[in-house]
Amino acid sequence: MARTKSTTTSTCFFLLCLYSSFYPSTSAPLFPREALPTNTGYLPVNPTTGSAIFYAFYEAQAPTSPLSKTPLLIWLQGGPGCSSMTGNFFELGPWRVAHDLSLEPNPGSWNRLFGLLFLDNPIGTGFSIAATPQEIPRDQHSVAKHLFAAITGFTSLHPSFKDRPIYITGESYAGKYLPAIGYYILNKNPKLPVSRRVNLAGVAIGDGLTDPITQVATHADSVYYSGLVNERQKLDLEKAQRELVELIKMKNWSNATNARAKVIEMLGNMTGLATLYDFTKKKPYQTSYPTFLNIAEVKKALGVNESMVFEECSDIVAEALHEDVMKSVKYMVELLVKKSKVLLYQGLYDLKDGVVSTEAWVKTMEWEGIEKFMMADRVIWRVKGELAGYLQKWGGLTHVVVSGAGHLLPADQPLNSQAMIEDWVLEKGQFGGK
C-alpha cells in the first residue's frame, strides 16, 4: 500500500533540512547521509485503491535563484516499464552506484542548479505500486492522467513548489510519456483554477521513441551507412521494416510491436554488437544499482517497504503497454513546440532511437516553424572549448547531438549532458537567442 510521509515532508523541503531527523535510524555506511534524497515517498494516483507513484526528490545543490523560482526537472525512464532509478543511480542523479555497490558523487548531476524529481512511471514500475494489474495504464492518455495526479500531488507537498517552472525530461520510451504528459497539461490547465495548474516550461526527450512509423523505417539506412551491414542485408532489413510499417498502418498494434522486436533482433544478429544502444561499446552498459536497491538497508533509507523486490524493468508493465508501443505521439509534440519548448537530444552512437531516427520524424512535423528549423544552421556545440556535439534550433525546438555517447547518454557524457540541460533550461550560451 501507499506509504506517504505526509507527517515529515513539509519540514524537509529545504536545502538545509537535517537528514538525521528525517531518517532517524539510517546513518548506514551503505547509504551515507549526504547521499540521501532530500525526500522520497509515494504520490497516490488513485486514493481509493492505493496505487501510487514512487518518487525520489533531490533539491538543487547550488541554485542561482530563490528555491521558489528555481526550475524543477522531472525525470522519466523508458521501457515501457523501466525504473527511473536507472536515471537516478546510473545516469544523472547526484550519486551513482559504483560496481562495488558504493555510492559516488556524480559531477554531472542534473540537480546542480535545479530541483530533480525521479518518478517511477507508470505504476507497477520500479518501487511504484499498482494495486491491481488492471490499473496499469495501457495507453498514453492513462499514463498522462496518473502522471498529472503525481505531479500535482508533489507540487502540493509544499507551497514553495507551486510556481517553480517544471521541465519534464526522460529517455527512450519516455519519448512517448513526455509528449503525453505535456499535451495533457496544456489541455488541462485552462480548465483548472490557476492555483491547481502545472507550471510546464518544457519537455526534453533523450534518444526517444516518439513517432515509431517513421523511426522504425530508418534502421537499415543507419546500419548500412555506418558500415555495419552489406547491401543484401540492408535489403533484408528493409523488407522487415516494410512489413512492420504495414502492420502499423493497419493498426495491428500487437503484431507491429512483435515485428519491431524482430527487426531489432535482426540488427543485433547481423551486426554482432554488444548493444545497439552504443555501437562503440564492447560490452552492454554495466549497471549495479538493481543489486544495490534490493538491499534491505537501502530500501529502508529510501522509505520503501523491504518486502518489495526491485526490478530494473517490469514485464507486467511492458505487457500492459504492448499495444501502445508502435503508436505515435508526434501530434502532441506539434502542440508542445508551439506552446512550450522542446529539446530533442541523442547520443551519436545510439542505433536504437538515435540521430537518424529522430531527424526522420522531426522533418515530417506539422508546425509552421519546421521549414525555418530545417534551414537553421547545425552549429558545432562546444563545452569549455571542446567539441561536445551539434546543435540546431529555431523557435521552440532545439535538437542536440551529443558526441561520445550512446543511448544512456548522461552516463556516457555526464558533464556535457549537465551543460546541455542547464543551458537549454536557462537559454544560455549557444542555447540562447533565436
Ligand X SMILES: *[C@@H]1O[C@H](CO)[C@@H](O)[C@H](O)[C@H]1NC(C)=O
Our CB check for ligand X shows the closer of 166 and 237 to be: 237
Q: Is the distance from CB of 346 to CB of 409 less than 8 angstroms? A: yes
* Residue 41 near residue 120 (C-beta atoms within 8 A): no
CA dihedral over 332, 336, 337, 343, signed as positive or negative: negative
Q: Tell me the C-alpha distance between 352 and 219, whole Å.
A: 8
- Residue whose CB is less far from ligand X, 252 or 271: 252
Smallest separation, CB 248 to ligand X (Å)? 11
Q: Which is nearer to ligand X, 48 or 307 (CB)?
A: 307
CA distance 229 to 70: 48
Q: How far apart are the C-alpha atoms of 54 and 51, rounded to whole Å? A: 10
d(CA 381, CA 401): 9
Residues that bind ligand X (CB under 6 A): 3, 247, 250, 252, 254-255, 258, 262, 265-266, 269, 305, 307
Based on CB atoms, which residue is closest to ligand X, 185 or 266? 266
Q: Which of 146, 219, 399, 407 is catalytic?
A: 407
Cβ 310 vs Cβ 83: under 8 Å: yes
Pick between residue 187 and residue 305 the one whose CB is nearest to ligand X.
305
Q: Is the dihedral of CA 129, 134, 136, 142 positive or negative?
A: negative
Cβ-based nearer residue to ligand X, 235 or 387: 235
Q: Is 162 left (phi over 0), alpha (psi -120 to 50) or beta?
A: alpha
Q: Which is nearer to ligand X, 152 or 258 (CB)?
A: 258
Q: Which is nearer to ligand X, 193 or 272 (CB)?
A: 272
3-class DSSP assignment, residue 290: helix
Active site residue 120: no
Residues with Cβ within 8 Å of 205's Cβ and at least 6 positions away in sequence, in order, are: 169, 170, 171, 174, 175, 178, 179, 342, 343, 344, 345
User: Who's near 377: CB < 8 A, 6+ residues apart?
Assistant: 392
- Least distance between ligand X and beta carbon 241 (Å): 13
Grid cell 495491428 in the structure block, residue: 252
Dihedral of CA atoms 103, 105, 110, 116 in degrees, nearest 10, equals 50
Q: Looking at 120, 207, 278, 350, which residue is catalytic? A: 350
Crossing angle for the helix pair 174-188 and 140-155, to the nearest 10 degrees: 70
- The 3-class secondary structure across 167-211, one letter per residue, is EEEEECCHHHHHHHHHHHHHHHHHHCCHHHCCCEEEEEEECCCCC
Q: Is 350 a catalytic residue?
A: yes
Cis-peptide, bond into residue 80, ω within 30° of zero? yes
Sheet with strand 115-119: strands edge to edge:
39-46, 51-58, 115-119, 72-76, 166-171, 200-206, 342-347, 397-402, 386-394, 379-383
253 contacts 139 by C-beta, under 8 angstroms = no
User: Which residue, among 147, 58, 144, has the nearest Cα to 109 in the 3D structure?
Assistant: 58
128 is catalytic: no
Q: Cβ of residue 348: shortest distance to ligand X, in angstroms? A: 26
C-beta of 60 vs 266, nearer to ligand X: 266
Beta bridge pairs of residue 203: 168, 342
Which residues are identified as catalytic?
A: 172, 350, 407
